[in-house]
Amino acid sequence: MAGRPKIYDETAILDKAVEVFWEKGYANATADDLLHAMGIGKGSFYFAFKGGKEELFRKSMERVVELNFKAIRDALTTCADPVQFIKDFFLSLTGNESPVGNKGCYFGNALIQVSADDAGLKMIAAKYLHLLEEIFTEAVQKGKDLGLLQTQEPAAALGTYLVNLWNGINVTRRMEPDQRKLADLVRMNLKILD
């Protein structure tokens, strides 16, 4: 168990890579962009990520799930009113202070940016979006169990509805700078949770 120690923190440089991918998109992010942002040399990079750019992106997706989705899930399991939480979450997407900024959804972006022959990455992105769908579904189910929802719709259908809303907003944000219009749009969609 000897050996020269890493001089960087693996999660720290992953976070840097996430930033670059999110900002520039998978296809447009060059290895140089990434290395520069991560602040490591090619040697270290190809040593740590033998699969090159693709492996880095795969790990960066894991990291984003860990940082973002898991946080949502945790918050949902502890909060008293999951329905209100969902509503607040979506409304928060329409403001400047959005956690996502204008960069969209990491996974939705991936589905659209990754070239067709990288089917593996696409499948992973799809899988994580399904995870988000599940999280929404669980929240709705919990809301139903608590008697907070009148709707006849099954929780799973509402989960699908919400992940589709998420996908939509993350594109619509980019064409619609008017935050009031976005907020109205979200509110209109959230009526389904009354």
Partner DNA sequence: CCAATTTTGTACCAAATAGTACAGTTTATT
Partner DNA sequence: AATAAACTGTACTATTTGGTACAAAATTGG
- Residues of the shown chain interacting with DNA in the complex, contacts defined by CB under 7 A: 1-8, 29-32, 40-44, 46-48, 52-54
Residue 111 interacts, among DNA, its own copies, none and using kind-specific CB cut-offs from 5 to 8 Å, with its own copies
Q: Cα–Cα distances in Å, from 125 out to 53, 102, 108, 122, 128?
A: 15, 19, 7, 5, 5
User: How near is the Cβ of 67 to DNA at its closest, in Å?
Assistant: 23
Nearer to DNA, 35 or 158 (CB): 35
Nearer to DNA, 55 or 184 (CB): 55
Contact yes or no for 107/61 (Cβ under 8 A): yes
Nearer to its own copies, 148 or 190 (CB): 190
Nearer to DNA, 48 or 79 (CB): 48
Q: Which of 6, 11, 12, 23 binds its own copies (CB under 8 A)?
A: 23
Q: Which of 44, 68, 141, 189 binds its own copies (CB under 8 A)?
A: 189
Residue 113 interacts, among its own copies, DNA, none and using kind-specific CB cut-offs from 5 to 8 Å, with its own copies
Q: Which residues of 119-150 are buried (b: 16+ CB within 10 A; e: fewer)?
A: eebbebbeebbebbbebbbbbbbbbbeeebbe
User: How near is the Cβ of 125 to DNA at its closest, in Å?
Assistant: 19
Give 103's DSSP letter: S
CA-based nearest residue to 167, from 114, 98, 121, 106: 106
**Nearest-angstrom CA–CA distance, 166 and 155:** 16
